[in-house]
Amino acid sequence: MKSHAKVVVIGGGVVGCSVLFHLARHGWTDVVLLERDELTSGSTWHAAGGMHTINGDPNVAKLQKYTISLYKEIEELSGQATGVHLTGGVLLAATEARLDWLRGVVAKGRYLGIDLEEISPDEAAKLMPLIDPKQFVGAVRNKEDGHLDPSGVTHAYAKAARKLGAEVERFTKVEDIVRRADGLWRVITNKGEVVAEHVVNAGGLWAREVGRMVGLELPVLAMEHMYLITEDMPEVAAWNQKTGTEIIHAVDFDGELYLRQERGGMLMGTYEKANKPWSEFQTPWNFGHELLEPDIDRIAPSLEVGFRHFPAFQNTGIKQIINGPFTFAPDGNPLVGPVRGLPGFWVACGVMAGFSQGGGVGLALSNWMIEGDPGADIWAMDVSRYGDWATMAYTNAKVRENYSRRFSIRFPNEELPAGRPLKTTPVYDLLSAKGAQWGVAYGLEVPLWYAPEGVRDEFSWRRSSDFSHVAKEVAAVRNGVGLSEISSFAKYKVTGEGAAAWLDRLLACKLPKPGRMTLAPMLKDDGRLIGDFSLANLGDESWFLAGSGVAEQYHMRWFEKHLPPDGSVRIEALGPKLTGLSIAGPKARELLAKVTRADVSNAAFPFMAIARMDIGMAPCLVGRVSYTGDLGYEMWVAPEYQRAAFQALMAAGEEFSIGLFGSRALNALRLEKNYGSWGREYRPIYGPLEAGLDRFVAYGKDADFIGKEAALAERKQGGKLRLRAFVVDAVDADVIGDEPIWYDGAVRGWVTSGGYAHHSRKSIAMGYVPKEIAEETDGFEIELLGRRHAARMQSAPLFDANFERMRG
């Protein structure tokens, strides 16, 4: 075994081998994979080997498509058979709600280049002969489904990597990992030590244990998973003989089942409701090529549905039940990327669909390690989407929930209850008493809307029980004054003598003067967005940033990576140490004037001003800015004062009929101002010009800000896309995001977010289209629940286009 390597990859499952292959293919060949046993000695060897392109997140779906397209290449490169059978498959819906969901999947496929087609149950039965079509209301055909040989694929990755110069050391167990003073990693094994610049934790079933070696508690948990294999079935033999082809894959969402042919019989797997975690606290090191005891009682309810939906199963025997563990993150997506605070330590774990996602994970991680950027929008897989709040008990609750809902529909207005409430703000109970319906962002409870007694969300793809109530919240803001709880923003304090110069380099905007705020896009080296903040200059070398709450860890990782080593800049994520309230609407100034002695007249406290002032008895930092696009103020307050500030505002607001509003109303309000948001309109695949944030980029400022050269090039060449807002002729449902935008009979763009703008009484969609058609106003259509609706480009905001309300 070599004593030094650029990269040590820990774990020889499908994921580690894919990472090794991608690193070598990308030119890093001084790389070694350490496997404590034979390759495939974790979850990989007993996988059912199914692969599919669809995923709830379009960016993950793209990487799944890439994974499937890769198998031919690694087979050729390695000479190792992967056993890929691209049979195609059918996705089955037994309810109308499921069919609505599937139609959304078909629609997304149009711009992702995934060939999906809605078909009838009878047509599905012609493709997959075991189906009882009477049990279903519709189906979708996917030509890119299939299955493979898990061991063959893993070895193909490893052999291909070896051919490119990478090394694989089997029976080499990593026992400890220690960071040296010079930043290199000592990877200590049972066979000696390797010193490496980078370490990748692809430990699969043991990823938690490998993480603990560097003081990291990763939010992953293994679950037991069962599939059965039947005896040979005459129906299968007859089909094979008649058509000369295998029986294709099927996913029966309502039965929570997946099926495929396995030799002369069938394989049926299930995500059972009565699921069971495995090794909740510590994965035993002596576990390897063994299986868990099957428990047919646990999967019996799903099998009953399966036997009804696929009647031929009633007449066959079960040859074998496989029960094996594999790991999940709380939301079921992988954990990939560099770990904040541990330079050179990377993770590629929690991959629950290794044969659909392993290639994409390897590609993204190798790009990231070598180029400094994953090369794709992998937010849905980024390890930084979790913070300290994702504790072991939280992970346990969430993973169980996610497993049991693997094939369940999640409606756009559906909040999942497990592991909640976890983080709450001091006004939580006060808002609950007013009917707050809670959602969650980065572990924190956030009010979505306020329901009268007895009214709750009715889960639906269409406008639902909250519609008229959200309309009232919006009206309270636009006609008088509304109050919302805004603690879920991420807040950062930046101080130190080097702070101004550092911010000038980090952010693309012009720095504001003391007492002023500005919008601050943050770019990567390639000139694309990596953040968008409001930046306030508090004077005395003290700065305040507010940004996307869910991206706190993501942004801290970036900030810390760029901090000067001399200690001249300090940055702190304030998290729950600072809470927030916001008031907005034409009466907001009058209300503020009633609760503070500060002069808040337009002259003394204009748009984008920021100052410390007391709200009632509570000391606050107040900025004159509002995401509602109205006259409004954001108030930042230490948690111990939040209740006092809230009560002062509510009491003084009575005279203006103050109303509480939640994030759904806020969405309705910002949409009619064409305001985008991080994670939806603003993501690391768009440039500032494309996203319409170029007006906040100080292209000409002296500071050589990160991404400046690329941003200038984007401005010169014009980028490729443009963010636009559309008014949609929608009837009873509004876009939620990821719907295709049609123009002139072809899919040309995609929706990033939208909803109903109650004040303007219009259904709005925001999304990206190619710049060539970005100045057209008509001819657009947006596909919603399987139907195309006419949409008109809305270049000027529907509300306050002249900024009279906001700045007045």
Ligand X SMILES: Cc1cc2nc3c(=O)[nH]c(=O)nc-3n(C[C@H](O)[C@H](O)[C@H](O)COP(=O)(O)OP(=O)(O)OC[C@H]3O[C@@H](n4cnc5c(N)ncnc54)[C@H](O)[C@@H]3O)c2cc1C
- Answer yes or no whether residue 268 interacts with ligand X by CB under 6 A: no
Among 44, 548, 553, 760, binds ligand X (CB under 6 A): 44
Question: Among 92, 106, 205, 615, which residue interacts with ligand X (rule: CB under 6 A)?
Answer: 205
Q: Which residues contact 244 (CB under 8 A, 6 or more apart)?
A: none
Question: Least distance to ligand X from the beta carbon of 147, Å?
Answer: 7
Determine, following the binding rule CB under 6 A, whether residue 275 of this chain makes contact with ligand X: no
Quick check: 292 and 217 in contact, CB under 8 A? no
| Residue position matching structure tokens 């309705």 | 668
**Nearest to ligand X of 227, 641 (CB atom):** 227
Nearest distance, CB of residue 40 and ligand X, angstroms? 6
Q: Which region, judged by CB under 6 A, interacts with ligand X, from 41-49, 296-304, 397-405, 737-745?
A: 41-49
Residue 386, CB half-sphere, CA atoms under 13 Å: how many?
Answer: 27
- From candidates 7, 8, 11, 98, binder to ligand X by CB under 6 A: 11
Stretch that binds ligand X, among 320-328, 559-567, 706-714, 753-761 (CB under 6 A): 320-328
Determine which residue in the list 22, 35, 259, 762 makes contact with ligand X, applying CB under 6 A. Answer: 35
Query: Does 202 engage in binding with ligand X (CB under 6 A)?
Result: yes
Tokens representing residue 244 in the block = 């000369």
- Residue 437 forms beta bridges with which residues? 449
- In angstroms, the CA 174 to CA 169 distance is 11
Say how far apart CA 118 and CA 113 lie, in whole Å.
Answer: 15
Residue closer to ligand X (CB basis): 13 or 623: 13
Question: How many Å apart are CA 83 and CA 226, to the nearest integer?
Answer: 22
DSSP state of 185: E
Q: CB nearer to ligand X: give 11 or 707.
A: 11
Q: Site map for ligand X, 166-195, x if CB under 6 A?
A: -------xx---------------------
- What sign results for the dihedral spanned by CA atoms 653, 658, 662, 666? negative
Q: How near is the Cβ of 364 to ligand X at its closest, in Å?
A: 14
Helices 467-479 and 663-671: crossing angle, nearest 10°? Answer: 60
Cβ neighbours, 10 Å, residue 558: 18
User: Distance (Å, rounded) from C-alpha 207 to C-alpha 259?
Assistant: 29
Tokens found for residue 692: 């319409």
Count Cβ atoms within 10 A of the Cβ of residue 641 and give its class: 0-12 exposed, 13-18 middle, 19 or more buried. buried
Place of tokens 């999304």: 767
Coil, helix or strand at residue 359: helix
Q: Pick between residue 140 and residue 353 the one whose CB is nearest to ligand X.
A: 353
203 binds ligand X (CB under 6 A): yes
Q: How far out from the chain centre does Cα 568 lie?
A: 34
448 sits near ligand X (criterion: CB under 6 A) = no
Does position 322 interact with ligand X (CB under 6 A)? The reply is yes
Report yes or no: 547 and 555 within 8 Å, Cβ to Cβ. yes
- Identity at 616, one-letter amino acid code: G
20, 31, 49, 631: residue in contact with ligand X (rule CB under 6 A):
49
Least CB distance to ligand X at residue 158 (A): 11
Q: Which of 20, 21, 22, 46 binds ligand X (CB under 6 A)?
A: 46
Q: Considering only residues 7, 16, 592, 751, which one is a binding residue for ligand X as defined by CB under 6 A?
A: 16
Looking at this protein, which amino acid is placed at residue 480? G
Range 331-390, binding ligand X (CB under 6 A): 349, 351-356
Q: Is 439 in the site for ligand X (CB under 6 A)?
A: no
Non-local (6+) Cβ contacts of 132 within 8 A are 125, 308, 309, 310, 311
φ and ψ of 397, to 5 deg: -65, -45
Of 44 and 384, nearer to ligand X (C-beta) is 44
Q: Which is nearer to ligand X, 43 or 553 (CB)?
A: 43
Determine if 155 is a binding residue for ligand X (CB under 6 A): no
| Of 260 and 673, CB closest to ligand X | 260
Considering the rule CB under 6 A, would residue 295 count as an interface residue with ligand X? Answer: no
Cβ proximity to ligand X: between 31 and 202 the closer is: 202
Considering only the stretches 11-19, 391-399, 630-638, 785-793, report the one whose residues sit in contact with ligand X under the rule CB under 6 A. Answer: 11-19
What residues line the site for ligand X (CB under 6 A)? 10-16, 34-37, 41-44, 46-51, 173-174, 202-206, 210, 225, 227, 322, 324-326, 349, 351-356
